[in-house]
């Protein structure tokens, strides 16, 4: 997919989100070739991105709330500060992905061990629970669903905790 096509899809999607789904259209990027794409701060809330190749893509600060990322290839993708609340990441390949500072509250992650290997999850927003001391034991992301969870536990740093 070329840059102009992608920009048109993102612009139409932005209208769709801002008009509460009355105008524009939901971005359909299912199975799209988006390798190394620059999607920093992109508004992809509720977008259909399942099966897309996002290998090495820059999704830092992107709004991916409620997005369908099932079986997407996110190997080596930069997701620092991305909002992945309630995103569907079932079967997504996160090997080597940088997910520090991402909000995964309510996200659905089905990590097969090979697909989580070397994903960097620290620190992530994972719970509305009160802040833990910096040396507390690992906190497992509780409304996020890691099934069948074999991913490493996630640490929540006090600086990243949000009030309930």
Task: Write the pLDDT tens digit of every residue in 118-138.
Answer: 666 555 544 443 333 333 333
Q: How confident is the model at residue 157 (pLDDT cuts 50, 70, 90)?
A: very low
- Predicted confidence (pLDDT) per residue in 10-64, tens digit: 999 999 999 999 999 999 999 999 999 999 999 999 999 999 999 999 999 999 9
Q: Give the pLDDT confidence score for residue 106 in this predicted structure.
A: 86
Mean pLDDT (the chain, rounded): 77
Cα distance between residue 121 and residue 36, in whole Å: 20
Joined tokens for residue 73: 């290839």
Residue 164, pLDDT above cutoff 80: no
The rounded distance, in Å, linking the Cα atoms of 160 and 146 is 20
Q: Residue 81 is encoded by which pair of tokens?
A: 């500060």
Count CB-CB contacts under 10 A for residue 118.
11
Q: What is the DSSP letter of 108?
A: E
H helix intervals, the chain: 3-18, 113-116
Residue 127 corresponds to which tokens in the numbers above? 């719970």
Please write the tens of the pLDDT for every residue from 64-116.
999 999 999 999 999 999 999 999 998 899 888 988 888 888 888 765 554 56
Q: Which domains does the chain have, with CATH numbers?
A: 31-164 (2.160.20)
C-alpha to C-alpha distances, 22 to 2, 14, 15, 46, 66, nearest whole angstrom: 27, 12, 9, 14, 18
Higher pLDDT, 5 or 142: 5
Q: Which residue has the higher pLDDT, 8 or 135?
A: 8
**What tokens does 85 get?**
């609340």
CA distance 78 to 59: 6
């Amino acid at each position: 997919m070329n840059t102009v096509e992608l920009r048109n899809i993102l612009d139409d999607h932005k209208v769709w989100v801002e008009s509460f789904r009355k105008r524009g259209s939901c971005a359909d990027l299912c199975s799209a070739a988006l390798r190394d794409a620059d999607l920093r701060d992109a508004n992809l809330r509720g977008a259909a991105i399942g099966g897309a190749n996002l290998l090495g893509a820059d999704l830092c600060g992107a709004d991916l709330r409620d997005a369908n990322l099932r079986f997407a290839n996110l190997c080596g993708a930069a997701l620092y500060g991305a909002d992945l609340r309630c995103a569907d990441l079932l079967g997504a390949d996160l090997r080597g992905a940088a997910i520090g500072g991402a909000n995964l509250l309510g996200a659905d992650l089905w990590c097969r061990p090979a697909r989580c290997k070397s994903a960097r999850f620290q620190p992530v927003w994972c719970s509305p629970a009160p802040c833990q001391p910096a040396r507390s034991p690992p906190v497992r992301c509780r409304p996020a669903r890691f099934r069948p969870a074999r991913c490493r536990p996630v640490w929540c740093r006090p600086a990243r905790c949000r009030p309930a």
